[in-house]
Amino acid sequence: MTPSRAAVVEGWPVLLTSVVVGITFGVVARQSGLSVLETSGSSLIVFAGAAQFAAVGLLREGAGALEVAASILLINLRHLLMGAALRPHVARASLLERLGLAYILTDESFAMGIGHFRRGHRDIAYYATFGTVLWACWNTGTLIGAIVGAGVEHPERYGVDFAITATFLAIVALGVRHRSDVIVAVVAGIVAGALRLFGATTLAVVIVGALAPVIAFVVRERPAEPTAAASSGSG
């Protein structure tokens, strides 16, 4: 199986979910006062689901442009960490190719791509294909939601407000490989939930995004130390 085909075969649940979440975003954005063009333009230009949902929520609450921009910047700072993790695997690509790969960098494409690289693969076709198809799915969903969104009353009764949460749960499930991964996911989830109970939304994402790498560093699984007998040889 080619890397491109493997990306679609292995990632189709996430790709399908992105259409649903994209529709959700389109509905929420339209009901927050954005036009179809503005809603679709957001997905075409920004292409960052969590940041887009946060921006729409802030706009609905009457936040100014500076506050919205600062919030999106803080939320998307995690892309620096993801980009740093991917850099060794895309170092051979040209500058233009790396810019394109950066554009399609999302939580989903990172999780799928880094998993592919950790399995010993060196090609970038898997990551590039998944990210491109994800972009198409997200924008298709956004457009559908934007077109029908203005006529949907109380979308939360259909459970669409849980769609993005379900997506991130799927990402975590795909990315878990070791006991330390489980610890990071559980602790980050508890902290985020606690902050949300105290009313934090965007701030919760920023705090947990900064906390998770620290937790990962503390609980990382270190290689076992060689025994004295092993280090001295068998003879």
Closest by CA to 205, choosing from 163, 168, 166, is 168
pLDDT given at position 158: 63
Structure token digits, residue 77:
């700072």
pLDDT given at position 156: 62
pLDDT given at position 154: 63
Q: What is the pTM (predicted TM-score) of this model? A: 0.73
pLDDT given at position 144: 94
* Dihedral in degrees, nearest 10, Cα atoms 36, 40, 46, 48: 100
Q: For 71-102, write each residue's pLDDT tens digit.
A: 788 778 888 888 999 999 998 899 999 999 99
pLDDT given at position 168: 65
Cβ proximity of 121 and 3 under 8 Å:
yes
pLDDT given at position 153: 65
pLDDT given at position 234: 46
Q: Give dist(CA 199, CA 194) in Å, integer.
A: 9
Within 32-98, strands assigned E span none
Structure token digits, residue 217:
């560093």
Q: Give dist(CA 66, CA 72) in Å, integer.
A: 10
pLDDT given at position 231: 46
C-alpha to C-alpha distances, 57 to 41, 68, 185, nearest whole angstrom: 17, 9, 25
Following DSSP, what letter does each residue of 175-196 receive, concatenated?
H--SHHHHHHHHHHHHHHHHHH
Q: For 133-158, write each residue's pLDDT tens digit.
A: 999 999 999 999 999 876 666 666 66
Q: Could you count the other beta carbons within 10 Å of the beta carbon of residue 194?
A: 12
Closest by CA to 203, choosing from 59, 71, 73, is 71
Q: What parts of the chain have a pLDDT lower than 50?
A: 228-231, 234-235
Q: Burial letters for 151-177: b for 16+ Cβ neighbours within 10 Å, e otherwise?
A: ebeebeeeebeebbeebbeebbebbee
